[in-house]
Chain A
Amino acid sequence: MSIPLFLKDIKDNIFLLLIFVFLMSLYLGVIIYMYDPNGVGALVDMLSLLPVALVKAMRLSTIDSGLTGFIGSLFYGIIIYLFPMVYCIILGNRLVAKWVNDGSFACLLTTPNSRVKIIVTQGLYMVFSIIVLFSVLFLVGLAISGYCFPGTLDKSVFFELNLCACLLTITVGMICFFFSCLFNDTTLSLGFGAGILIIFFLFTILSGISDLTAFLGKYSLYNAFNSLAIVKGEANIVTICVGFLTISLLLFAAGVGAFGIKRLPV
């Protein structure tokens, strides 16, 4: 890994990270603040006004009455797919394909650093920034629920939610990173990175609507992360984490490998 390049990555992308940290923390804070310890009756009443299919698609058909379950449904249900997806698409493209596309990658290659070293640095920044994002969310969640509803949050389950969501996002990030390494053109890098993630997302939404479409869930990466199962203690955390880590590593290695041998148009 190249330290000066890593520092440049932080400098170039800190603003993007801060925006997402801020937005997601705000969202999480508001959701925790909305929690009513006397029951989720009001929210259930409101949801009953909406079409059943929509509620199912939003993964809100079963809401746990505890605070952890409430956060699990409302924040780690759909929000946790959407915001990080956008973050990964933007960052993945910025880290590699953008510089290749505009030619500035050549500046890096005129220094005595191998392509592999440079590209590994870029991939590690992606992983690092996602870990920072989820660490902040974890701390924000702990702090706000500790302030509003002391002693109500199940900290170990909340940690598991964040750990799995973090590894899911790293996998998502590695999908974008891989396409960013593979293509020299930002249009293709963005198109494939975003395209695949949007398809996964749609499959996940559709799989919740009815039994006829439930099979689509099997083809979506996002279905591997089920916040309700984690809250209920039904999910095998180790398997999920090892699965995400394995896919991430494979994508990382494939991205680095593809970048190491390709002809660069810079």
Chain B
Amino acid sequence: MIETRDITLKYSGNKGIFDLNFKVEKGEAFGYIGPKGAGKTSTIRVLMGLSHSSKGLATINGLNCFNKAAAIQKITGYIPEETSFFDGMRVKEYLNFISRMRGSSRSKKTGLRDSLIERFELETRGKIENLSNDMKQKLAIVTAFMHDPEVLILDEPTNGLDPLMQSRFVDLIIEEKRQGKTILMATHMFENVERTCDRVGILKEGHIVAQDDIIQVKSAEIKSYFVRFEAHPNLEQLKKYGFGYKQFSEKDYEILCQGDRIDALVKVLSHEKVLVFNSNTQTLEEIFQKYYSKEAINA
């Protein structure tokens, strides 16, 4: 179980994390989301004992994250936002070294490791510094999972992975969750969280602005669609149902719709002849507009 109580870590220029409180229960997957620079990595650094918070307490399985970092590492797998490996080491050599640092002998327990190498198609020959960025990320994944940890702390785990590997990673997380692992996944990509996490915490400028069930977050999502009509549409209907829109030309529109009102939008559009209907890829800022604007009002 991961718990933070009022943890605060300030950097210069009003940056940092402030009075963070969240709890990830055993067997739960928690998505920790926010744009870059919101404080996700700072939080994880406190959890991993790399930084000590200036205020508050962070614990994993009841152990103090700073003082008991070694005991926590025994049961934890960690993927850093960006891993720097040792110069001049080969992939196999590195994995063996980390296994020995974990106190397991080379011959034991390589089964899980080998299956992970195979699953992610990790290139094990050659030196780490010559690997491409996605290979390095795969190596970080194998390193974090190879000792079958109970708790997983993942910071942008799919960074640099191609869509196929991303989906293999999501499958892995789903399997781990089924085995009762406790997972905290920090990401700015909503797609990763959508398929794996039960709950999400939304972080903005070092504050948690919302902690919600994933379904509720999805319903708060503002979706945007590009629509081309055959003829000039009936805008009165759109306005009446409260949909925002932007007009690009006489027939091209961008329509904004909250996640729980898609059904209403489909009904309105059914009266028109629609030629093109594209869902727009959204940035996290757009997705969490609701939370962000709420925060702005409170501030």
Interface string of A43-66 (1 = CB under 8 A from B): 000000000000000000000000
Please tell me if the beta carbons of A8 and B71 are within 8 angstroms of each other in the complex: no
**Would you give the shortest CB distance from A84 to chain B, in whole angstroms?**
25
Please tell me if the beta carbons of A110 and B73 are within 8 angstroms of each other in the complex: yes
Please tell me if the beta carbons of B49 and A266 are within 8 angstroms of each other in the complex: no
* B80 touches which of A4, A106, A113 (Cβ 8 Å): A106
Whether B287 is near chain A, meaning CB under 8 Å from some CB there, is no
Q: Which residues of A contact B73 (CB under 8 A)?
A: 109-113
Closest to B102 in A: A111
Please tell me if the beta carbons of A109 and B50 are within 8 angstroms of each other in the complex: yes
Give complex CA distance A216, B97 in Å.
48
* B101 touches which of A2, A99, A264 (Cβ 8 Å): A2
Closest to B82 in A: A103
Give complex CA distance A261, B51 in Å.
9
How large, as a class, is the contact surface on chain B?
20 to 34
Please tell me if the beta carbons of B84 and A115 are within 8 angstroms of each other in the complex: no
Whether B291 is near chain A, meaning CB under 8 Å from some CB there, is no
Interface residues of A in 249-266 (CB under 8 A from B): 261, 263-264, 266
* B85 touches which of A4, A104, A111, A263 (Cβ 8 Å): A104
Interface residues of B in 54-103 (CB under 8 A from A): 69-71, 73-74, 78, 80, 82-88, 94, 97-98, 100-103
Q: Which residues of A contact B82 (CB under 8 A)?
A: 103
Please tell me if the beta carbons of A110 and B78 are within 8 angstroms of each other in the complex: yes
Whether A213 is near chain B, meaning CB under 8 Å from some CB there, is no
Please tell me if the beta carbons of A107 and B50 are within 8 angstroms of each other in the complex: no
Please tell me if the beta carbons of B52 and A113 are within 8 angstroms of each other in the complex: no
Whether A114 is near chain B, meaning CB under 8 Å from some CB there, is yes
**Would you give the shortest CB distance from A7 to chain B, in whole angstroms?**
8
Whether B7 is near chain A, meaning CB under 8 Å from some CB there, is no
Whether B143 is near chain A, meaning CB under 8 Å from some CB there, is yes
- Given contacts A4-B100, A110-B48, whether A117 and B83 have CB atoms under 8 Å apart is no
Give complex CA distance A107, B50 in Å.
11
- Among B82, B84, B101, B103, chain A packs the most CB atoms within 10 A around the CB of B101
Q: Which residues of A contact B78 (CB under 8 A)?
A: 110
Q: Which residues of B contact A266 (CB under 8 A)?
A: 50, 84
Whether A18 is near chain B, meaning CB under 8 Å from some CB there, is no
The count of chain A contact residues (Cβ–Cβ below 8 Å) is 24
Q: Which residues of A contact B97 (CB under 8 A)?
A: 4, 8
Interface string of A88-124 (1 = CB under 8 A from B): 0000000000010011101111111111010000000
Give complex CA distance A264, B94 in Å.
22
**Would you give the shortest CB distance from B130 to chain A, in whole angstroms?**
16
Q: Which residues of A contact B85 (CB under 8 A)?
A: 104, 107
* A113 touches which of B50, B88, B94, B101 (Cβ 8 Å): B101
Q: Which residues of B contact A143 (CB under 8 A)?
A: none
Whether A19 is near chain B, meaning CB under 8 Å from some CB there, is no
Give complex CA distance A14, B113 in Å.
30
Please tell me if the beta carbons of A114 and B69 are within 8 angstroms of each other in the complex: yes
Give complex CA distance A22, B73 in Å.
41
Please tell me if the beta carbons of B50 and A104 are within 8 angstroms of each other in the complex: no
- Given contacts A103-B82, A104-B86, A107-B85, whether A112 and B51 have CB atoms under 8 Å apart is no
Give complex CA distance A266, B83 in Å.
9
- Among A99, A103, A106, A261, chain B packs the most CB atoms within 10 A around the CB of A106
Give complex CA distance A104, B143 in Å.
14
Please tell me if the beta carbons of A106 and B84 are within 8 angstroms of each other in the complex: yes
Q: Which residues of A contact B88 (CB under 8 A)?
A: 12
Whether A5 is near chain B, meaning CB under 8 Å from some CB there, is yes
Give complex CA distance A103, B86 in Å.
9
Q: Which residues of A contact B144 (CB under 8 A)?
A: 110
- Given contacts A103-B82, A109-B50, A263-B51, whether A117 and B70 have CB atoms under 8 Å apart is yes
- Given contacts A8-B97, A263-B51, A264-B50, whether A112 and B74 have CB atoms under 8 Å apart is yes
- Among B69, B70, B82, B87, chain A packs the most CB atoms within 10 A around the CB of B70
Give complex CA distance A2, B100 in Å.
10
> What are 13 A-B pairs at a CB distance below 8 A?
A102-B84, A102-B87, A106-B84, A107-B94, A109-B69, A110-B80, A110-B144, A112-B70, A112-B71, A112-B74, A117-B70, A263-B52, A264-B51
Q: Footprint of B on A, CB under 8 Å?
A: 2, 4-5, 8, 12, 99, 102-104, 106-115, 117, 261, 263-264, 266
